[in-house]
Amino acid sequence: MPSQRHYSPADRLLMQADAALRTLLPFSGQPARPSPAIVKDEAELNDSETRHVAGLMRINHTGEVCAQALYQGQALTARLPQVRQAMERAADEEIDHLAWCEQRIRQLGSHTSVLNPLFYGLSFGIGASAGLISDRISLGFVAATEDQVCKHLDEHLGQLPANDEKSRAILLQMREDEAQHSTAALEAGGLRFPAPVKFGMSLVSKVMTKATYRI
Ligand SMILES: [Fe+2]
Ligand SMILES: [Fe+2]
């Protein structure tokens, strides 16, 4: 087992800045797994279908930007080292999703959301605050967020044109990974959030999806 490294506050600040730039700069996140879309054929989509799928993938990409920020914020304030490491590992896994969504958006001739820096900042703050309250709340927040993401992915899978196998392959793999992240967070001791809190979170995510579908 490698010994655990100790980082100074300056080191941590630089690592945070590096993580933020890797999330927000185009094509800077290197996926560990190739995109599931690679092995699928490109579909013939008309203009309105292309715009719609690009809008959906832009929402999913921003969701992944938020996931990065949330995990990085939580890792910053997590109390237990194993929780911090779990958050950092989860953020690494989410880089795959971020990169796959971005690749697909570019293939569709579109762009990622201009609102990403804003959502990154907000999510980082929420993650860091949750981590400050307690690791249990922080892990519970991961579980509730991932459940929310799964709901979005289900809706998007239902809205994709039947022949868009590339986008479908990406969303299906993400759906599987996110469900696993939710289960892992609960198994690690995460609090099960009550329904009203989840409802509040779904309202916030509606604002995000409405805004990023177009810009
Ligand atoms: Fe993800
Ligand atoms: Fe996830």
User: Count of domains in the chain?
Assistant: 1
* C-alpha 185 to ligand 2 mean position (Å): 10
Sign of CA dihedral 82, 151, 36, 210: negative
Contacts of residue 95, Cβ cutoff 8 Å, sequence gap at least 6: 22, 29, 30, 31, 32, 68
Write down the pLDDT at residue 176. 93
Residue 9's CB: how many other CB atoms inside 10 A?
A: 7
Structure pTM? 0.86
Q: Which amino acid is at 76?
A: L
193: left (phi over 0), alpha (psi -120 to 50) or beta: beta
Distance from residue 188's CA to the centre of ligand 2 (Å): 15
Distance 97 CA to ligand 2 centre (A): 8
Q: Give, as residue ranges, everything with CB less than 5 Å from ion ligand 1.
A: 67, 94, 97
Ligand approaching nearest to the C-alpha of 98? 1
- CATH number for position 154: 1.20.1260.10
Note whether residue 74 is domain-resident: yes
Q: What is the pLDDT of residues 141-170, one digit of tens each?
A: 888 888 888 999 999 999 999 999 999 999
Q: What angle do CA 32, 7, 73 make, to 5 degrees?
A: 60
Q: Is residue 18 part of a domain?
A: no
Structure tokens at 141: 């927040």
| Cα dihedral 174→56→118→199 (10° resolution) | -70
Closest ligand, as measured to the CA of 174: 1
Q: How many angstroms separate the alpha carbon of residue 91 from the centre of ligand 2?
A: 8
Residue 165 lies in a domain: yes
> How many whole angstroms from 127 Cα to the centroid of ligand 2?
14
Q: What is the mean pLDDT of the chain?
A: 86
Q: How far is the CA of 161 from the centre of ligand 2 (A)?
A: 24
Give the pLDDT of the chain (215 residues) as one tens digit per residue: 444 567 777 787 788 788 888 788 877 778 889 999 999 989 899 999 999 999 999 999 999 998 888 888 888 887 778 777 777 777 777 889 999 999 999 999 999 999 999 999 988 988 888 888 888 888 888 888 888 889 999 999 999 999 999 999 999 999 999 998 888 888 888 888 877 777 777 777 787 888 888 89
**Which domain, by its residues, includes 92?**
45-212
Q: What pLDDT shows up at residue 207?
A: 79
The CA distances from residue 42 to 50, 67, 104, 175, 178, in Å, are: 12, 28, 11, 21, 25
pLDDT computed for residue 22 by the predictor: 79
Structural domain contains residue 17: no
| Span from the CA of 22 to the centroid of ligand 1 (angstroms) | 15
Distance 174 CA to ligand 2 centre (A): 8
Residue 214 is predicted with a pLDDT of 83
Ligand 1 centroid vs 192 CA: distance in angstroms?
A: 20
Q: Does the residue 2 lie in any domain?
A: no
- Sign of the Cα torsion 137, 142, 145, 146 reads negative
Task: Select from 10, 24, 52, 205 the least CA-distant residue to 113.
Answer: 24
The residue with tokens 């490294």 is: 5
Asked, for residue 24, whether it belongs to a domain, the answer is no
Q: In whole angstroms, give the CA distance from residue 126 to residue 64.
A: 15
- Is residue 53 assigned to a domain? yes
Instruction: Please choose, from the candidates 95, 104, 94, the residue with its C-alpha nearest in 3D space to the C-alpha of residue 58.
Output: 104
**Which ligand is closest in space to the CA of residue 153?**
1
At 4 the pLDDT is 54
193 Cα to the center of ligand 2, angstroms: 17
Within a domain: residue 167? yes
